[in-house]
């Protein structure tokens, strides 16, 4: 009897450990690349084949899981580009969530945003909205669970923008709920170089310093897009390295 009781207690203890491992710090089930909402988002049949062809290099499931994206989340995507991550984020948060695409006006007046086709595609992506910002002010309709920017944070430093980057990050801080997450993914510069507008690269340590200066707490990083074969000396569009640059992914949290 005593032996059976001890075995039962051991099983209960193991189950308790397993349960803890599947929970996040806030008591919610942990988000992984195999979470149902993320698997469905990456498999979305509305994603163009050109995006799917880039998945092996960009690893959208791993990136979205790192951002802890859950159904119902309210997300701000900063400088979304043509919308590679927009589609995945939209489907990951689902119909009860929303994704706000935050960008400045196009350089050439009258030119549509690169992601405009997604805003027009209400049949597949009805939970998208555009928020115009000059990054000196920012107003979103509701507090956000996540702000995400991939491969475009460095553009905020470009000559001509004349931005106070810490102030920009403070706008992001203010847009988030307490406990909200800020993810920055970008191309790593060469050793000893903080930023290069010509190469479209920025140093990981510089980003971390700027974001923390706005009040964020550093959570951690992901190495899923690191590539030690890229020394950071070539432009990201160089055919020898395009799509395979050394990229860092940093996660911060608003206390």
Q: Which two tokens stand for residue 98?
A: 């929303």
With 0.75 as the threshold, say if the pTM is over it: yes
Q: To which CATH superfamily is domain 31-253 assigned?
A: Vaccinia Virus protein VP39 (3.40.50.150)
Q: Are 118 and 155 in contact (CB under 8 A)?
A: no
Average the pLDDT over 186-207 and give the result.
Answer: 98
SS3 assignment, position 180: strand
pLDDT tens, residue by residue, 17-32: 333 333 444 567 899 9
pLDDT tens, residue by residue, 85-105: 999 999 999 999 999 999 998
Question: Does the pLDDT of residue 73 top 60, yes or no?
Answer: yes
Query: Quick count: other Cβ atoms within 10 Å of Cβ 42?
Result: 19
Confidence of residue 133 (pLDDT cuts 50, 70, 90): very high
Average the pLDDT over 193-222 and give the result.
Answer: 98
């Amino acid at each position: 009897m005593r032996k059976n009781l001890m075995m039962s207690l051991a099983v209960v203890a193991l189950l308790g450990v397993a349960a803890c491992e599947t929970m996040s710090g806030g008591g919610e089930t942990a988000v992984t690349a195999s979470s149902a909402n993320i698997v469905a988002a990456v498999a979305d049949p509305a994603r163009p084949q050109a995006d799917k062809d880039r998945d092996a290099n960009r690893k959208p499931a791993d990136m979205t899981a790192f951002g802890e994206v859950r159904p119902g989340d309210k997300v701000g995507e900063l400088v979304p580009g043509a919308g590679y991550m927009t589609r995945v984020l939209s489907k990951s948060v689902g119909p009860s969530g929303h994704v706000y695409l935050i960008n400045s006006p196009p350089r050439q007046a009258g030119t549509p945003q690169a992601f405009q086709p997604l805003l027009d595609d209400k049949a597949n992506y009805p939970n998208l909205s555009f928020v115009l910002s000059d990054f000196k002010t920012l107003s979103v309709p509701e507090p956000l669970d996540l702000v995400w920017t991939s491969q475009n944070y460095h553009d905020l430093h470009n000559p001509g923008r004349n931005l106070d980057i810490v102030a920009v990050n403070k706008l992001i801080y203010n847009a988030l709920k307490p406990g909200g997450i800020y993810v920055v993914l970008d191309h790593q510069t060469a050793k000893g170089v903080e930023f290069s507008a010509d190469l479209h690269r920025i140093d990981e340590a510089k980003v971390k310093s700027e974001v923390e200066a706005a009040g964020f707490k550093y959570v951690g990083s992901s190495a899923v897009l690191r590539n030690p074969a890229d020394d950071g000396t070539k432009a990201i569009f160089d055919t020898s390295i395009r799509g395979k640059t050394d990229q860092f992914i940093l996660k911060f949290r608003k206390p």
